[in-house]
Amino acid sequence: MQPAEMSHDEFPHSTATADGIRTIPAARGQRNVYVHLNVPYATKDGRTLHLQIIQPSRDATFADPSEVFAERFGCIVFVQGSAWGEQALGSSIAFWCRFAERGYTIAVVEYRPSSLAVFPAQVRDAKTAVRWLRAHADDYSIDPERMILAGDSSGGHTVLMVHATTGLAAFDDEPDQPLPIAAYLDFYGPSDLSRLNDEPSTMDHTGPDSPEGRLFGGVRLADVPELVEQANPSAWVEPGRPLAPLLMIHGSKDRLIPFAQSVRHFQVLRDAGQPVELIQVRDADHGIWPAIFNEQVADIIDSFIRDHSTR
């Protein structure tokens, strides 16, 4: 005979006991997350590209198994900064796991490093990743109408380029497919690479061995002005082509990517009548955790996304 099935609340407490046992209540009503590591989404130039996907779930102790992953959430597709080189895909996982508990699926994107594929490969890869996630929305609790693209540093530059070139085939490996992104988040990404040395910085951004030089195949930026201009998201902003809302976040003491980079692009978008917000984080440096990736910023991000993507 099979034992009768019981729900969690119907199942009796254990009667086993001993002197000195402490009893505390189980936490209820909290959200858990499940991390899917190294999920392949594309193969380009002979390299398989992966996503690290953080999927919110209900507490399996108290939820019916069919309901653990039944909810649908907005999806933040995060492009990890790396100076356009090999990415440390786990460096932001802790923050995004905490953020996922607010009710978001998170996908950290691996793109082709510049040593394998020069600009604009990274822009194309981010677009491919968004489309793959939308096609697999049911597998990862994603609401396909609430896709958000985010990135920091070089990943922020990728996000700014995706944002500004939406609908332009030259920056897209799947130009015939829609790109359903409701809003964008940029953390201290560069915009005008030709002017990175206009402000104080801890490195030279113009030589062939700089991250920017390697982005174009190991050249001096002064030798390829047309390529550098193509990699400037401001160059693609037009008043008559509406863009999705963008939130920019940048530290006031960024010693690698000057805050002025965000100010210039912010002004270009504002002048073109595009929806954009810029948050300056006082005293924050470049990519320092948790000076920028903290609860106050998380609240700002959460509010921005809900304002611009909730149906």
List pLDDT tens digits, range 180-223.
899 999 999 999 999 999 887 888 899 999 999 999 999 999 99
Q: What percent of the chain has pLDDT over 90?
A: 79
Phi–psi pair at 251, nearest 5 degrees: -80, 145
Bridge partners, residue 43, by sequence: 48
Residue 108 pLDDT? 98
Residues 6+ apart with CB under 8 A from 160: 184, 186, 189, 191, 233, 246, 265
Domain 31-309 top-level CATH class: alpha beta
- DSSP conformational letter for 15: -
Residue 138 pLDDT? 95
Q: How far apart are CA 128 and CA 251, in angstroms?
A: 30
List pLDDT tens digits, range 44-93.
999 999 999 999 988 877 777 778 788 999 999 999 999 999 999 999 99
Q: How far apart are CA 249 and CA 247, in angstroms?
A: 7
All structural domains of the chain with their residue ranges: 31-309
List pLDDT tens digits, range 42-53.
999 999 999 999
The two beta strands, 73-79 and 104-109, are parallel
311 pLDDT exceeds 80? no
9 alpha carbon, distance to own chain's centre: 39
Q: Tell me the average pLDDT across 7-27.
A: 87
Query: Do 171 and 232 touch, CB atoms closer than 8 A?
Result: no
Could you tell me the pLDDT band of residue 121, with boundaries at 50, 70 and 90?
very high
Q: How far apart are CA 137 and CA 263, in angstroms?
A: 35
100 alpha carbon, distance to own chain's centre: 12
Q: Is 44 helix (H, G, I), strand (E, B) or coil?
A: strand
Q: How far apart are CA 24 and CA 31, in angstroms?
A: 19
